Structure 1
Amino acid sequence: METTLSAPHGVSFGRLAPGLGVQDLNRSLQFYCGVLGFNKVFENGNPVGFVILKKDKAELHLSLNKNHKASVDNVAHLMVEDAAALYRHCTAQNVRIIKSLRDADFGLRCFVLADPDGNRIDIGEVLPNPRVEV
């Protein structure tokens, strides 16, 4: 069901990148770059308190927040082409898995991981012939 109260006429939307708070940027960079394969493409501050990471079409913004508390909700959703391969890679790298790999009735092969700060990221891959449109 789609609900639109008032759409901005003539405005085209571009990139939308989730921003995550982290307590330790170096630890987060080791995770996102070293484990997941992102590249740091921008940093700001002295000392650095903000970075932009990219991998393929995905972009992620990390902001240093020494008082960051993890949410029990997923803070980002990442679509991939091979969720099972990423799941195997993450488990081999001892990444904290919140929800195990499954084929969901909403048409995705998916799992949920947590970064070192507890930020939950929902990983999904569209299944061939999904029963539900995604």
Structure 2
Amino acid sequence: MTATSFYPVMMSREVATAATFYREALDFEVTFDSGWYISLRRGDFELAIVDHDHGTVPDGFRVPVRGLILNLEVDDVDAVHEALTGRGFVPVSPLRDEDFGQRHFIVEAPDGVLLDVIQPIPPTGEYADAYAGGSLAG
């Protein structure tokens, strides 16, 4: 099999509201908008949002996304934190360093999704040994 793309499609109660969040917070651009389905792209990254109640979603699965954390790795988390808070986004988890190798903060996106903005940093203690060969942060 040759894969040509792989991206999440989140089911939402408010497709336009969710798309606006990712456009404003992360500078995604709309590549397709039918109202019930919006496809977004930023560089090589794609994200789509579909109306949870649309007929293309199989019966029994028409539930808005919930309990999802989207990780966004960046090279300067402090700059992203400053930019997002400067535009009014309020972190639900403050900017901080974690022993497991992340400097990060979390903001709430629509539909109860969490956006975790991460900069890898060197892990400390026992976490350094948990990384598989060659994948150590920092």
Instruction: Give the TM-score of the pair, scaled to structure 2.
Output: 0.69
Q: 2:109 aligns with which of 97, 108, 115?
A: 115
Residues 62/13 of structure 1: CA separation in 2 closer, same or farther (3 Å cut): same
Matching residue of 1:71: 66
Task: Tell me the alpha carbon deviations over residues 10-58 of structure 1, each in whole angstroms, 9 at most, x when there is no partner.
Answer: x4555432222222222223221133211011234xxx21111111232
Alignment gaps of 5+ in structure 1: 1-10
Check whether the contact 1:25–1:64 (CA below 8 A) recurs between aligned residues: yes
Amino acid at match of 1:24: E
Check whether the contact 1:19–1:63 (CA below 8 A) recurs between aligned residues: yes
Between the aligned partners of 1:86 and 1:21, the Cα distance in structure 2 is 26
Check whether the contact 2:66–2:111 (CA below 8 A) recurs between aligned residues: no
Instruction: Give the TM-score of the pair, scaled to structure 1.
Output: 0.71
Q: What secondary structure sits across from 1:59 in the alignment? A: strand
Between the aligned partners of 2:31 and 2:97, the Cα distance in structure 1 is 34
Overall identity of the aligned pairs, in %: 23
Aligned residues: 118
Between the aligned partners of 1:35 and 1:73, the Cα distance in structure 2 is 17
Give the 5 Å matches for 1:1-134: 11=1, 15-44=5-34, 48-65=35-52, 71-74=66-69, 76-127=70-121, 130-131=122-123, 132=128, 133-134=136-137
Between the aligned partners of 1:15 and 1:104, the Cα distance in structure 2 is 32
Alignment gaps of 5+ in structure 2: 54-61, 129-135
